[in-house]
Structure 1
Amino acid sequence: MKSSDKEKIRSVFEEVYAANVKSEDLCGYGEMYTEDALWMAPNVADRVGINDIVEGFSEQIANNKIDPIFTAEEIEVIGDFGYVLGISIATIHPKDGSPSKLVKFRALWLMKKQDNNWKISRQIWNNKPL
């Protein structure tokens, strides 16, 4: 059972999250979080709860199209809790047509299992050199 939980977490991290960011799917983005989630993005105020987090994400994509690739490096599951540690390399395409740039982030997510789905409970990431 634990390996399938690890695979579900890996799927949220590497596939579902990336797809929702790339497609700018605000509804899908919000569905990945617990009601009391804490979103700790670099260089902006923390966001708490799904509506606040979706608002923060919509601000991130207002001026930029983000094309991320996520790679999970470590996943642990303890009962209905787990975490994933990984790297994201994203191409940021400014919507004003200025040149794209490549960025790298280290991400740590605390996950909570709710109704057999793994949701993001705490999420923090920071900028790293390429």
Structure 2
Amino acid sequence: MTEGKAPTPPRGLGKRGRAFWRQLHADYEFEVAQTEVLIEACRTLDRLEALDAVIADEGVTSEGSMGQRIVHPAVQEARQLQITLTRLVAALELPPSDEDVRAHERWKTQRAKAGAAARGLRAVN
């Protein structure tokens, strides 16, 4: 957790990008290189938001050059940006939060119980 006030978000970020910037700065401190990656992640979130608006307005399909129905180019671009965002966030190498660790432990426990139950059921058959 950082102490003091978070840096002002870079100019040009939209609502979603600014929110991500502020949330991460509330929890982490960043080196210069990480800050650049974070800026790109914020911009990517804003682009995804804009593409979501296009898709909501125009739908997930559009008309191709021969009149056929095709996947809307905004859907394809959003898919690529989602991959990019995942890579950018991974590049930040953020440590897991305490809540993430607790959630993962709960998931492992539930999975172990389900596995034990499944083995027990197979043994009966």
Q: What interval of TM-score do these two structures reach, taking the shorter chain for normalisation? A: under 0.3
> Quick one: higher RCO (CA 8 Å, sep 6+), 1 or 2?
1
Q: What TM-score do you get using the length of structure 2 for normalisation?
A: 0.24
- Between Structure 1 and Structure 2, the one with more helix by share is 2
- Between Structure 1 and Structure 2, the one with more strand by share is 1
Q: What TM-score do you get using the length of structure 1 for normalisation?
A: 0.24
